[in-house]
Chain A
Amino acid sequence: MNLTVREALLAFRRAPLLSALSVTTIAFSLFAVGLFGLVAVNLQQALAGVAERVEIVAYLLPGTPIEAVTLAAKDIEAFPEVRSATYVSEDSALARARAELVEFRDVLQELERNPLPASIEVRLKPGFRDAEHVRAVAERLRGFGFVDDVRFGQDWVRKLDRLRQIAAAVGLVVGTAFAVVAVIIIGTTIRMAVLQRSREIAIMRLVGATDGFIRRPFLLQGAIKGTLGGLVAVGLSYAAYLLINRWLIQAAFFTREQALAIVGFGALIGLCGSAASVGRHLRRV
């Protein structure tokens, strides 16, 4: 077995309690990050669900030939922002109104003439559901000669934008704070592991070990601890997610990539924390 690997594993066997403590500390620090991540993921999904409803409706002038509209709908679907452009005829608009506005059924039944215009309903792709893109697409829709009016709930889209910005800012600040706290706690834990072995490090240096030789097992050990801690943290987050789902609200869990990112983050902190601690220790002695 490689010497670095052997030394790193030996350290686990020799100080099982401290190693377990390190892994637990890392796990709970990352669990806090994970919980916050769960909140962020679910908030983001809720917002995306709301944004799903962003829609631009172009009302058409009466008597627009259907061929022209179909062609235009094709054109509109070719816009980079647009996911779908659906033609809604006068008749289907009325049918929908009858179905949806039950309390006005009588009024709608007695109509001699259909007062509702035909329209093209445009839905946007996920990345473009903000005020700026909505307005740009609406502007282009106005350019079609047979378009009478374009509606898209400007205020509502703007409020959604604002909500998204706030969520992103809070997420960034709180997420960073959580991550920094995790890094500090994990760094301290690893520092303890290094100090616990300072005698051994001194002896290694006396017999002619290079700094790199001394450092490598610590780095590997830190990465292993971080990875284990990350795995436990994802497990704890999953348990929390199950509980929330069962007792509180329907929630979403991390995607596989996000879960891997948490584990990777753990490994990275473990590695960097070890590098910093050992490096500092080696420079001092």
Chain B
Amino acid sequence: MIKFTGVCKAFPKGGLALKDISFHIAKGEFVFLTGHSGAGKSTVLKLIYAEEAATSGEVRVSGFNLAELRRRDVPLLRRRLGIVFQDFRLLEDRTAEENVAFALEVTGARRATIPARVMRVLTQVGLAAKAKAYPRELSGGEQQRVAIARALVNEPTVLLADEPTGNLDERATRGVFQLLRDINASGTAVVMATHDLDLVRQAPYRVIELQEGALVYDSAVDEPRDRAATP
């Protein structure tokens, strides 16, 4: 599904962002990507959705070898992924349902099928009643649900979430996390970057920890360690 083999990423000015990272995420897995800010979590996600290219090593995602991926094929890769960010990244001048429909429209989905598909995912994230609301009329948690609905509407095999609860209060955080767990339970792999260790401890999922660009711990490979000791 997602396979990193000896991946390094150097930025022209920023030195080495990732050092020799290798891991494999299987279909339907839920993986936490943890580490301090600047540890390289976002960079790993950006490599997965081909926003950045690896300097060396191999990245494979959903059958694509990203080193060989042509620029114009990047959209094809992204349609197989759902991506969610800390800052939601909704289009402010479109309603919740328009934001979700937009993700379908860009892929050239059949027009007639769009409203039903949009309603289905909005219902799935619990926002059917607010379909006509604009992002500014929604709480942070609700906006993140819209973003998740948008990520889900193309039925991705993997959902990438970069600090999805970073801007949310505790209650909204729990709600969004539960939603991600439900999504995972229905078969979609979820890769969630977070530094919220309370959240990580709540669930028995795989943890990949990064420190200054290096992979220092992978619960699928390494000895289980005392959860309390995780930084």
Contact = CB atoms under 8 A, between A and B. Distances in A.
B196 interface: no
B4 interface: no
B170 interface: no
A46 B91 CA distance: 58
A205 interface: yes
B161 to A, nearest CB: 13
B72 A207 contact: no
A9 interface: no
A210 B102 contact: no
Nearest to B85: A206
Contacts of B105: 3
Contacts of B189: none
A213 B93 CA distance: 19
| B contact residues, range | 20 to 34
B91 A203 contact: yes
A139 interface: no
Contacts of A210: 72, 75, 106
Contacts of B91: 200, 203
A208 B76 contact: yes
| A contact residues, range | 10 to 19
Contact of A207 (B76, B102, B108): B102
B117 interface: no
Nearest to A207: B103
B32 interface: no
A7 to B, nearest CB: 9
A103 to B, nearest CB: 82
Nearest to B82: A207
Given A3-B105, A204-B106, A206-B89, A211 B72 contact: yes
A18 to B, nearest CB: 13
A200 B78 CA distance: 16
A14 interface: yes
Contacts of A200: 91
A177 interface: no
A213 B106 contact: yes
A206 B83 contact: yes
Contacts of B72: 210-211
A14, A202, A206, A211: residue with the most chain B Cβ atoms closer than 10 Å: A206
B150 interface: yes
A39 interface: no
Contacts of B83: 206-207
Interface string A49-92: 00000000000000000000000000000000000000000000
Interface of A: 3, 14, 199-200, 202-211, 213
Closest A-B pairs by Cβ, 8 of them: A209-B106, A208-B79, A208-B78, A207-B103, A208-B75, A210-B75, A14-B93, A203-B89
Interface of B: 49, 72, 74-79, 83, 89-91, 93, 102-103, 105-108, 150, 154
